Amino acid sequence: MRKPPAIVDLHTDTFLEDWEDYSPEELLQESIDFMRSNLDAAIYWEMNEIKFIHGKGKGMLKKMVFEELQEYKAHGSIERYYTSYQNEDIVVVVIGI
């Protein structure tokens, strides 16, 4: 498992070459899957924190990201998460290991 970067952009055009071939629902799911894989890697590598860029848009990605992080927190995988003070388009995840 590769160590993830400290800041991960969840916009599909940054990690999928053929993103235009996906439906909006598929793009959302790809972004969540990408977030999960990076968050799981950050936990594995015992990183203190990781940041995810979800952007503004209609807020669907942000909503799904926060729902997913709520599950991670409920299971004790992360300590907390919050909207970045510098940029509301970014969520900071404190792993707390």
What is the tally of structural domains in the chain? 1
For the sheet containing 7-9, what is the strand order?
A: 7-9, 49-53, 90-94, 80-83
Q: What is the mean pLDDT of residues 27-33?
A: 96
Domain of residue 17 covers: 5-92
pLDDT grade, residue 80 (50/70/90)?
Answer: very high
Residue 97 placed within a domain: no
Q: What is the mean pLDDT of residues 18-42?
A: 96
Residue 47 placed within a domain: yes
Which pTM was predicted?
Answer: 0.93
We report the CATH number of the domain holding residue 77 as 3.30.1370.110
Map residue 66 onto helix, strand or coil. Answer: helix
Nearest one of 66, 64, 94 to 80, comparing CA atoms:
94
